[in-house]
Amino acid sequence: MRVGMLTSGGDCQSLNATMRGVAKTLYNQRKDVEIIGFIEGYRGLIYEDYRIMKSKDFSGILTNGGTILGTSRQPFKLMRVPDENGLDKVEAMKNTYKKLKLDCLVVLGGNGSQKTTNLLRQEGLNVIGLPKTIDNDLWGTDVTFGFQSAINLATQTIDCIHTTAASHGRVFIVEIMGHKVGWLTLHAGIAGGADIILVPEIPYDINKVAAAVNKRAKEGKRFSIIAVAEGAISKEQAALSKKEYKKYIATRQYPSISYEIGAKISELTGQEVRVAVPGHMQRGGSPCPYDRVLSTRLGAAAGKMILDGEFGYLVGMKNNHIAKIPLADVAGKLKMIQPDDEMVQEAKLMGFHLEINCKWHIQHYTANGVLPDLKM
């Protein structure tokens, strides 16, 4: 039995732990398993760049962040576009699969990557997807691996900022990763005790943010912490068309939304404001214990599915149980924070002003006209 494996898109802490889960299960259950690791994601599959893995390659990697196979971003929208030498990438991937006589291809990837996995499924390949992303925005699974480790790091950042903000009596903006969804910001913001949380799904009113900062100051609170997702948008920006919004991003005079919010808050409140951006640190380091367990479970489940010949699924979690979600259902959808999400309701109870506007997201981010199931 020959199984191909690749890690695609932005990395995260628990990729190696997940591959190890798949590999250990396969090696343990069958003697004739050979695993082919493609280098740098779909690039390796397209250009036949691979390594024949050995059981020892998967040993000692549970706690190692990053990916032993390397990764790259190969945008889904360019998959049908020939490369600079006229190569048809989809045909090339199919040829590599056939040439290597693979029985299955396992793809560890996020939203964009799983769209390509589904494309390969439609093209007749046996595929299995595993949900990687610190953003936790893959549709159909409650959790993705990498998310919890990133929450830990983002929370640690807010914790560190807390002490210095309190000493100096400053307003701090902490920018958390997540261009399209705010799960990481919402979780880290709550865990770190941020006073205001701004996520892409809830366009903010800068005057209300400033009022909340002023209110805290009036109550004698010497500092405020605002957790801002990198994709946070104001109500005015949310009202723009996709084209107008792109133009605004291209011409924005600030390095990111946090600096823009910082400048406005400083102007509106007269308080001293600082911005902290942990950036890619949130994807780095060792996977946390939760992710190690999650990855091992997902990997083992994927291994069993390969042995049972069950293909075409994303292996995810539903209510703490392994779930097999058809890739056809997953592709092109985003799991966003919903208005009726319990965490949102709880945050509201504690005084956050939250307004969900998912329409904006549907307009800007859904692929192929497929709308996300808002009731997921």
Active-site residues, by number, are 135
Residue 112 touching ligand F6P (CB under 6 A): no
Q: What span, in angstroms and rounded, lies between the C-alpha atoms of 232 and 260?
A: 11
Residues 57-76 that bind ligand F6P (CB under 6 A): 73
Residue among 126, 137, 8 at smallest CA distance from 67? 8
Tell me if 133 contacts ligand F6P by CB under 6 A.
Answer: yes
Of 44 and 278, nearer to ligand F6P (C-beta) is: 278
Residue 283 interacts with ligand F6P (CB under 6 A)? yes
Cβ-based neighbours of 332, under 8 Å, separated by 6 or more: 115, 366, 367, 368, 370
Cβ-in-10-Å burial (0-12, 13-18, 19+) of 145 comes to buried
Q: Toward ligand F6P, which CB reaches closer, 179 or 215?
A: 179
Applying CB under 6 A, the span of 133-141, 207-215, 309-317, 359-367 interacting with ligand F6P comes to 133-141
Distance CA 110, CA 90 (A): 19
Report residue 38: phi and psi, to 5°.
-85, 135
**Is residue 215 close enough to count as binding ligand F6P by CB under 6 A?**
no
Point out which span in 76-84, 100-108, 124-132, 171-179 binds ligand F6P (CB under 6 A).
171-179
203 binds ligand F6P per the rule CB under 6 A: no
C-alpha 324/C-alpha 313 separation (Å) is: 6
In the list 10, 44, 312, 316, the residue contacting ligand F6P (rule: CB under 6 A) is 10
Q: Of the two residues 79 and 301, which places its CB atom closer to ligand F6P in the complex?
A: 79
Looking at the Cβ atoms of 134 and 151, the one nearer to ligand F6P is 134
The C-alpha atoms of residue 38 and residue 116 are separated, in whole angstroms, by 15
Binding window for ligand F6P (CB under 6 A); candidates: 122-130, 175-183, 265-273, 337-345: 175-183
CB of 334 to ligand F6P, least distance (A): 11
Q: Is-contact 330 314, C-beta < 8 A?
A: yes
Measured from the CB of residue 81, what is the shortest distance to ligand F6P in angstroms? 19
Directed axis angle between helix 147-168 and helix 183-191, to 10°?
50
Candidate ranges 59-67, 83-91, 124-132, 173-181; the one touching ligand F6P (CB under 6 A): 173-181
CA–CA gap between residue 138 and residue 102 (Å, rounded) = 26
CB of 4 to ligand F6P, least distance (A): 23
From CA 373, how far away is CA 376, in angstroms rounded?
6
The secondary structure of residue 152, as a DSSP letter, is H
Q: Does residue 178 touch ligand F6P according to CB under 6 A?
A: yes
**Considering only residues 110, 189, 316, 332, which one is a binding residue for ligand F6P as defined by CB under 6 A?**
110
CB of 178 to ligand F6P, least distance (A): 5
Side chain identity, residue 122: Q
Q: Helix (H, G, I), strand (E, B), or coil: what is residue 176?
A: strand
Q: Which stretch binds ligand F6P (CB under 6 A): 41-49, 51-59, 128-136, 354-362?
A: 128-136
The answer to whether the beta carbons of residues 183 and 130 sit under 8 Å apart is no
Question: With respect to ligand F6P, which residue has the nearer C-beta, 230 or 260?
Answer: 230
Give the integer Cα–Cα distance in Å for 346 and 351.
9
Under the binding rule (CB under 6 A), the answer on residue 332 touching ligand F6P is: no
Nearest CA to 181 out of 276, 264, 110, 108 is that of 110
Rg of the chain in Å (alpha carbons): 22
> Minimum distance between the CB of residue 150 and ligand F6P, rounded to whole angstroms?
8
Among 19, 134, 317, 337, binds ligand F6P (CB under 6 A): 134
For binding to ligand F6P (CB under 6 A), which residues are involved?
10, 73, 110, 133-135, 177-179, 230, 283
